[in-house]
Amino acid sequence: MSIDLVEKTLDQVYSNNALCSMDVLWLTGEPLVLGVPYFRQVVDLCLEKAPPNMRPQFIVQTNGTLIDENWCDFFTSHDFIVGVSVDGPAIIHDKQRLSLLGKPSFPDVERGIDLLIKKGVRGGAICVITKATLSLPPDELFRFFQEKNIAWSYLLEASIGDNKSSPSALTADDLPSLDRYLDRLLDLWAAHPDSYIRDFEQISRRIFGGAQPRPDADNLGCLDILNVSANGDFYWGNPELMTATLGPLTDIRFNLERDDVWRIRSNPKFTAYQHQVHEGVKQCREQCTYFEGCQGGNPAHKFYEFGSFDVTAHTSCRLNDQLVQTLMTRKLTIAN
């Protein structure tokens, strides 16, 4: 994104006096190819233009291969949170993530992770779980992250949308294997209080964490996330909908050169989409016993499976949210 466009984006975003906190997140592709000087320029602008008393939190999702001392110094000096995409030990990671030249990427990723840890950069790892992962014993996957002492979360690659033709994507047929896999991961997580698997932490806090404020349906559905592409196109919603906004959801894609990011929230095309997302969350709240732990799921997963947001159960939530909650409550019942 040109620096001009970065400035234009910030001017629009910061024009809202009600804005009191903001995360700036770089993701998709490999953001670090832009280099430290570019990042420094953007971060400086974000800080210079920010309203008084508001400091954005900077976050980047990277494959980790380009990380060096220079990057680490930059990250620590601006308190970045760095997420590294790593799918476990080499034996599984290199099955899923080869370099552009078709070479194993694990050695570079691991070097990057180790440097981030050594330099005390805040962050964690994101691990994509596919059919291939299920061939690796869960103990080995857990041990990999545990030995590195890093917080991690996982994403299940479900057979929906673009992943439909992927042979490694998980389907409903994988539910029994996934049940055993996550069951063992839960045992390991519970047996190691120093481990951190974000998905388990989040769900357990929601369902066992005592009295919590009722989630506000207006804030569910990821509609407070502004996604801006390098050409100035933008939309509000889940980042995973980016591809869909180039096709069936083109109506909710706007451009900074013509449109204002805040004013577009009252555009009828946006409000119709917002209504449909909220309707899906409402149906989940009214009909699903897993709502408390899941809070209505990821709208993108609903859309990629059904072409609509106002639906409830879908493959991804059956393979993860519903399954993990069932396993957790089953374990608690046994423990009692």
Residues that bind ligand SF4 (CB under 6 A): 284, 288, 290-291, 294, 296-297, 312-313, 317, 321-322
Name the nearest CA neighbour of 145 among 60, 233, 86: 86
- DSSP of 204-266, one letter per residue? HHHHHS-S-PPPPGGG-SSTT-EEE-TTSEEEES-GGGTTGGGTTTGGG-EETTT--TTGGGG
Pick 232 or 293: Cβ nearer ligand SF4: 293
Tokens in use for 288?
């699903």
Q: How far is the CB of 172 from ligand SF4 (least distance, A)?
A: 13
Q: Which is nearer to ligand SF4, 24 or 313 (CB)?
A: 313
Closest contact distance (angstroms) between CB of 178 and ligand SF4 is 15
At 314 the three-state DSSP class reads coil
**CB 160 to ligand SF4: min, Å:** 13
> What minimum distance in Å lies between the beta carbon of 324 and ligand SF4?
10
Nearer to ligand SF4, 265 or 285 (CB): 285
**Dihedral angle sign, alpha carbons of residues 181, 158, 172, 287:** positive
Q: DSSP letter at 126?
A: E
The DSSP H or E segment spanning 47 is helix 36-49
- Give CA 70 to chain center in angstroms: 26
CA 266 to chain centre: 26
In the bound state with ligand SF4, the residue whose beta carbon lies nearer, of 232 and 296, is: 296
Q: In this complex, which beta carbon is closest to ligand SF4, that of residue 242 or of residue 317?
A: 317
81-85/57-62 β-pairing: parallel
Do 276 and 310 meet the contact criterion of CB atoms below 8 Å apart?
Answer: yes
Amino acid 153 reads S
- Closest approach, Cβ 317 to ligand SF4, in A, equals 3
Minimum Å distance from CB 131 to ligand SF4?
Answer: 22
Q: Which residue is nearest to ligand SF4 (CB)?
A: 297
The least distance separating ligand SF4 from the CB of residue 171, rounded to whole angstroms, comes to 16
Q: Residue 26 or residue 291: which is nearer to ligand SF4 going by CB? A: 291
Structure tokens at 287: 């009909």
Nearer to ligand SF4, 138 or 296 (CB): 296
Q: How far apart are CA 311 and CA 295, in angstroms?
A: 13
Which residue, 141 or 288, has its beta carbon nearer to ligand SF4? Answer: 288
Residue 288 CB, shortest distance to ligand SF4, in Å, is 3
**Residue in the block written with tokens 């996330």:** 225
